[in-house]
Amino acid sequence: MTTGICTGRVAVVTGAGRGLGRAHALALAAEGAKVVVNDLGVGLDGTGGASGPARQVVDEIRARGGEAVGHGGDIATPDGAASLIATALETFGRLDTLVNNAGFLRDRMLVNLDEDDWDAVLRVHLKGHFLPLRHACAHWRAEARAGRTPEARVINTTSGAGLLGSVGQGNYAAAKAGIVALTLVAAAETSRYGVQVNAIAPAARTRMTERTFADTMAAPEDGFDTMAPENVSPLVVWLGSAASAGVTGRVFETEGGRITVMEGWRPGPTADKGARWTPAEAGEATLKLLAEAEVPQAVYGAR
Rg (CA), the chain: 21
Decide if 176 is catalytic: yes
The pLDDT of residue 208 is 55
Instruction: Answer whether CATH 3.20.80.10 is correct for domain 10-262.
Output: no
The per-residue pLDDT for range 234-276, each reduced to its tens digit, is: 999 999 999 999 999 999 999 999 999 999 899 999 999 999 9
Hey, how many other C-beta atoms are within 10 angstroms of the C-beta on 278?
A: 9
**Which tens digits make up the pLDDT trace of 128-138?**
999 999 999 99
**SS3 (DSSP) at 174:** helix
Identify the residue with better confidence: 227 or 81. 81
Mean pLDDT over 191-195 rounds to 98
Active-site option among 34, 83, 159, 233: 159
pLDDT at 105: 87
Mean pLDDT, to the nearest integer, of 30-55?
78
pLDDT at 217 > cutoff 90: no
Grade residue 204 by pLDDT with cuts at 50, 70 and 90: confident
What is the SS3 assignment for 68? strand
Q: Does the annotation count 193 as an active-site position? A: no
From 78-92, 173-187, 214-228, the region with the lowest mean pLDDT:
214-228
Percent of the chain with pLDDT over 70: 91
Q: How far apart are CA 73 and CA 80, in angstroms?
A: 5
What does the mean pLDDT of the chain come to? 92
Q: Where are the domains of the chain?
A: 10-262, 268-296
Residues 143-167 pLDDT 10s: 999 999 999 999 999 999 999 999 9
Could you report the per-residue pLDDT of 289-299, keeping only the tens digit for each? 999 999 999 99
User: Residue type at 170?
Assistant: G
Residues 6+ apart with CB under 8 A from 221: none
Q: What is the pLDDT of residues 52-77, one digit of tens each?
A: 889 999 999 999 999 999 999 999 99
pLDDT value of residue 211: 53
Q: Which of 176, 233, 241, 244 is catalytic?
A: 176
Quick check: 86 pLDDT over 60?
Answer: yes
Q: pLDDT confidence of 43, banded at 50, 70, 90?
A: low
pLDDT for 66 equals 98
Instruction: Look at residue 41 in the predicted model and tell me its pLDDT.
Output: 75
Stretch 162-181: mean pLDDT: 96
Catalytic status, residue 159: yes
Q: Which of 34, 83, 127, 172 is labelled catalytic?
A: 172
- For the chain, give the percent of residues with pLDDT over 90: 83
Count of Cβ atoms closer than 10 Å to residue 89 Cβ: 13
C-alpha span between 146 and 285 (Å, rounded): 55
pLDDT for 146 equals 98
Please, which pLDDT band fits residue 214 given cuts at 50, 70 and 90? very low
What's the rounded Cα separation, in Å, for the pair 184 and 186? 6
Confidence of residue 213 (pLDDT cuts 50, 70, 90): very low
